[in-house]
Amino acid sequence: MPRGDLYPDIAPYETGLLPLSAGHVMYWEQVGNPRGQPALFLHGGPGAGAGAIHRRFFDPNHWRVVIFDQRGAGRSRPLGDLRENTTPHLVADIEVLRRFLNIEKWLLFGGSWGSTLALAYAQAHPERVTGCVLRGVFLGRKAEVDWFLYGLRRVFPDAWAAFAEHVAPEERGDLLSAYLKRLCDPDPVVHGPAARAWSLYEGSCSTLLPSPETVASFAQDRTALGLARIEAHYFRHDLFLPPEGLLGNMEKIAHIPAEIVQGRYDMVCPCDTAFELAAAWARARLTVIPDAGHSALEPGVRTALVSAVERFRRRG
């Protein structure tokens, strides 16, 4: 897939491991200009981890980009660990990282679950946020989780059938419990295939047109285990969000500017959620991409994300 609208590949100028609570160790890296405008990249999932491609949304001459893998995800360790792995823990981890790197404020950039975590962090620490660039908005509500588990079969019946058929017929009325039981089993013979089935389902539904490259990236063992186990864990606990949800605390970030980029045919996080968020956020600008699904790497979405970051660059 041509990606000439992203910035060229770049290596980090600094990487590290940061000890957290309950034996977790966070992988982090910095990319771009060490004296540049700070930005924080928040990956999806929860549990998906970040990759080299995510460095390329930012002009390295201008931005000081911080990227990290959330608890249990990607290069953080232990992989797939659920101990003290909640949204409040992740929000606290971001503050630990900010203070460790001596950053006063930063731009938040996150898609899917990354948009959820960005909103949760911004509402907890609005004084530390200069703006938000959000994509494929997910607010963590029960209806959104139910859509992922069951509603997607209306659009992707083949992908959903493969997802459901991994568990016994009598368990398919509660797919989340059936998968959690397997994903939390210590035996790799049990949790490995379940993780791949969950992750392949999500990857198969993430683009407007079939993308073998996207599906293959979701099928990688490191991605699959972190994504599936942690995502199911968070789904079981209502994403560890407050009872009033994220929309119930929008007054805390009403002053913060935001750019929201949404694929019209995003089936993983349908478009109406982005519209609800934009309606509740006077300083948010919503851009709907008419020929895109959920993935940040679909042509129209990635172009719009780079443009959104550039608008924040001009804001200073």
Number of domains the chain contains: 2
Residue 316's pLDDT band (boundaries 50, 70, 90)? low
Q: Which two tokens stand for residue 52?
A: 């080299």
List, by residue number, the catalytic residues. Answer: 112, 266, 294
Answer yes or no: do 174 and 191 share one domain: yes
Q: Which of 62-71, 179-188, 210-219 is the least confident region?
A: 210-219
To the nearest 10°, report the CA torsion of 87, 193, 218, 122. Answer: 0
Cis peptide leading into 257, omega within 30 of 0?
no
Task: Round to whole Å and give the CA distance between 63 and 310.
Answer: 10
Confirm whether 89 is domain-assigned. yes
Between the alpha carbon of residue 28 and those of residues 74, 80, 96, 192, the distances in Å are 11, 17, 12, 26
**Could you report the per-residue pLDDT of 266-311, keeping only the tens digit for each?**
999 999 999 999 999 999 999 999 999 999 999 999 999 999 999 9
CB 217 within 8 A of CB 223: yes
**Which residues lie across from 39 on neighbouring strands?**
65, 107
pLDDT of residue 67: 98
Average pLDDT for 2-28: 92
The encoded tokens of residue 2 equal 């041509």
Write the single-letter amino acid at 87: T
Taking residues 100-110, report their average pLDDT.
98
Is the same domain home to 103 and 182? no
Query: Is 24 found in the same domain as 127?
Result: yes
Residues 133 and 267 in one domain: yes
Is residue 8 situated within a structural domain? no
Contact 85, 95 (CB under 8 A): no
Do residue 126 and residue 249 come from a single domain?
Answer: yes
Is the pLDDT confidence value at 32 over 60? yes
Determine the pLDDT at residue 4: 57
- For residues 61 and 51, what is the distance between their CA atoms, to the nearest angstrom? 20
**Is pLDDT above 70 for 1?**
no
Among 181, 214, 238, the domain-final residue is 238
Last residue of a domain, one of 190, 206, 238: 238
The pLDDT tens digits for 252-261 are 999 999 999 9
What is d(CA 54, CA 67) in angstroms, rounded to the nearest whole number? Answer: 8
pLDDT of residue 214: 80
CA atoms within 13 A on the CB side of 124: 18
Residues 59, 136 share a domain: yes
> The CATH number of the domain where 27 resides is what?
3.40.50.1820
Kindly state whether residue 45 falls inside one of the protein's structural domains.
yes
- Residues 233 and 247 placed together within one structural domain of the fold: no
Beta strands in the chain (DSSP E): 14-19, 25-32, 37-42, 63-68, 106-111, 129-135, 258-263, 284-289
Do residues 178 and 292 both lie within one domain? Answer: no
Helices and strands in the chain: count of H runs, count of E runs: 10, 8
Q: Is the domain of 63 the same as that of 133?
A: yes
Domain presence at residue 271: yes
Asked whether residue 2 is domain-assigned, the answer is: no
Model confidence at 215, in pLDDT bands (50, 70, 90)?
Answer: confident
In a domain, 154, yes or no: yes
CB-based contact 6:23 (threshold 8 Å):
no
In a domain, 189, yes or no: yes
Share of the chain above pLDDT 70, in %: 98
CB atoms within 10 A of CB 91: 17
Q: Band the pLDDT of 3: cuts 50, 70, 90.
A: low
pTM: 0.96
pLDDT of 23 over the 70 cut: yes
Same domain, 232 and 276: no
What is the three-class DSSP state of 77? Answer: strand
Mean confidence (pLDDT) of the chain: 95
**Chain length of the chain:** 316
Alpha-carbon span 247 to 255, nearest angstrom: 15
CA distance 126 to 111: 19
270 and 284 housed in the same domain: yes
What is the reported pLDDT for 69? Answer: 98
pLDDT of residue 2: 43
Of the residues 197, 212, 238, the one at which a domain ends: 238
Is position 250 within any domain?
A: yes
Check whether residue 136 and residue 147 sit in a common domain.
no
**Range(s) of the domain holding residue 208:** 143-238
Q: Which residues of 227-254 are buried (b: 16+ CB within 10 A; e: fewer)?
A: bbbbbbbbbeeebbbeeebbeebbeebe
